[in-house]
Structure 1
Amino acid sequence: MNSMWRGRRRGLLGATVVATTMVLTAGFGGPASADPTTPPAGDQAAIDAYVQKYDHEMGSQIRRHEGTAQMPRDGSPPSLGAEAAVEGIDVSGHQGNVDWPGHWNAGRRFVWVKATEGTGYINPYFPQQYTGSYDQGFIRGAYHFALPDRSSGAAQANYFSDNGGGWSGDGRTLPGALDVEYNPYGASCYGLSPADMTAWIKSFSDTYKARWSKFPAIYTSTNWWNQCVGSSFSTTNPLWVARYASSIGALPFDWSVHTVWQYSSSPLDRNSFNGSYDRLVVFATNHD
């Protein structure tokens, strides 16, 4: 086991296949006074409108608050150093039905699929995205968009786990990821102090670990983390850091290494795993 894993508990995206019936409960967002409703079955226009209204893409608020830097013109990944790296993407309902053979032929080998948000939103495209990527050969998993001011970390970890976010250790399923970033509905830190935010994230992480024997990865940006969590969190989870630039820059407090880097959002979110393909398989196999 290399230095990327030693001395830290780790987990990342995972998932279990959800039923095609979407169950939506109170507790998700839109404005605090409104919860989403299920789009009519088979009504594509209604599904698309539903996604646009309620589905927040990974990094969407980071891009809004921090912007993006100029990437190489040919769209190639930035220099990642001497160690081998594996290319991947992440998707949400905004991508709809994804062309998995096309992404495979472009050299991408892993993907994270948005499963849930809060405790009341399930990605209506999750079955096609999650199962379709697996059938194509991808190592795939799921992520959860956190709304820390709506319900507890434990409640959201369980909702995520029940609706696609589980983990199996089969070498093809990444452990689940917690997407924590700027609040799309209000104050950047959701009205929580760093101590309260730390407690919320720990509750999510510990609940997920208790169910799946794997700690979730944490997806965030350095600026948001340092502002809203700071130094009160122990870096026991693998880091999935967002920075749209030619270099990764400073990591959030006390993380000495990243596991995944989301380095571009154009034309879709692009990620690099910090290691070889064999290490990616180990990451999708080993229990914590």
Structure 2
Amino acid sequence: MSPHRGLRARRRPLAVLTGVLTGLLLCLPTATAAPDSGGRTPPRGSAYMGVGVLAHDGAAPGARSPQAARASTAEGVDVSSHQGDVDWKKLWGDGVKWSYTKATEGTYYKNPYFTQQYDGPYGVGMVRGSYHFATPDTTGGATQADYFVDHGGGWSGDGRTLPGVLDIEWNPYGSSCYGKSKSAMVTWIRDFLDRYKKRTGRAAVIYTATTWWSDCTGNYSGFGANPLWIARYASTAGTLPAGWSAYTMWQYTSTGPTVGDRDRFRGSADDVRAFAKA
């Protein structure tokens, strides 16, 4: 018998074992795949307010005509780099009184259109603010709050600048809850909110959806002191997360005119200005 035949015989069990292990690994689910409609995972930085609402909650009939009367609520919009340069004069003429612009995401992204989208509404008379898209799987809550404040997320009591928003919702890049347990998610959110208030003197607004909040925080009820911006594309805001008896803002559709995402403030334009200054 050739000496090489004996060597091949000894190698065969190892090769079989390697093949089995490789097959098992290929069958394991991945936590990073969150493909878009084309089967691709979107690039970091591309998230926006409401990115997961349609996919997870859908849109109920009547989302474009909520029951809250326009006379008693102030119309708003939220924008990100996806909208590019926004026609703020047209929106102002359409009755939009306030706006929020995406400033940052994680600690790796700044909106390249931020200046036009943040200064533009101020220039036409709107009350404006900025929001941060949270990625709790990348860095800590306090670290992301610092990044947000340092890159457009600050606040001033001029009556025209709204407090910053923590956009905490479905992860477009991976597992919905960013791989965190419910208690770890609550801790991350608390760290962000505490640092933001320490840096600015204002309580940050929390933007979220009831289903995500329930799934990923266990419907935690301890953040009721922070204003709530609820996301639900329907004729009513529906059941709110635990800890809140009323919302401050409501994102009611992603298919509005001029700018898709449309919002209502629970109160008049005067109330929006008072909220900005408080």
TM-score, normalising length from structure 2?
0.81
Instruction: Give the whole-Å Cα distance in 1 for the aligned partners of 2:140 and 2:80.
Output: 23
Q: CA deviation at 1:80?
A: 1.2
Matched, 1:173 2:161: yes
Instruction: Give the whole-Å Cα distance in 2 for the aligned partners of 1:281 and 1:247.
Output: 24
Q: CA deviation at 1:70?
A: 2.4
The match for 2:27 is: none
Q: CA deviation at 1:255?
A: 1.0
Matched, 1:64 2:55: yes
Give aligned pairs, total. 235
1:236 pairs, out of 221, 225, 232, with 225
The match for 2:268 is: 276
The match for 2:213 is: 225
1:158-199 deviations in whole A, cap 9, x for unaligned? 000000000001100000000000111111111111111111
The match for 1:262 is: 251
The match for 2:148 is: 160
1:235-279 deviations in whole A, cap 9, x for unaligned? 221100000001111001121010000000004100000012221
Q: How does 1:86-125 map to 2 (within 5 A)?
A: 86-125=74-113
Shift of the 131–220 alpha-carbon distance from structure 1 to 2, 3 Å rule, reads: same
Contact 2:103/2:110 (CA < 8 Å) preserved in 1?
yes
Matched, 1:128 2:128: no
Aligned residue identity for 1:79: Q
Shift of the 53–226 alpha-carbon distance from structure 1 to 2, 3 Å rule, reads: closer
Contact 1:115/1:160 (CA < 8 Å) preserved in 2?
yes
Shift of the 222–83 alpha-carbon distance from structure 1 to 2, 3 Å rule, reads: farther
Aligned residue identity for 1:157: A
Aligned residue identity for 2:242: F
Aligned residue identity for 1:70: P
The match for 1:9 is: none
Aligned residue identity for 2:236: S
Instruction: Give the whole-Å Cα distance in 2 for the aligned partners of 1:206 and 1:142.
Output: 18
Shift of the 52–130 alpha-carbon distance from structure 1 to 2, 3 Å rule, reads: farther
Larger RCO of the pair (alpha carbons < 8 Å, separation 6+): 1
Contact 1:55/1:123 (CA < 8 Å) preserved in 2?
no
Shift of the 63–253 alpha-carbon distance from structure 1 to 2, 3 Å rule, reads: same
SS at match of 2:163: coil
User: Would you tell me which structure has more helix in proportion to its own residues?
Assistant: 2
Instruction: Give the whole-Å Cα distance in 2 for the aligned partners of 1:62 and 1:280.
Output: 25
Shift of the 245–124 alpha-carbon distance from structure 1 to 2, 3 Å rule, reads: same
Identical residues among aligned pairs (%): 51
Contact 1:176/1:217 (CA < 8 Å) preserved in 2?
yes
Aligned residue identity for 1:55: S
TM-score, normalising length from structure 1?
0.78
| Runs of 4 or more above 6 Å deviation | none
Stretches of structure 1 lacking an aligned partner (at least 5 in a row): 1-30, 33-50
Instruction: Give the whole-Å Cα distance in 2 for the aligned partners of 1:231 and 1:130.
Output: 32
Instruction: Give the whole-Å Cα distance in 2 for the aligned partners of 1:222 and 1:170.
Output: 32
Contact 1:93/1:123 (CA < 8 Å) preserved in 2?
yes
Q: CA deviation at 1:96?
A: 0.1
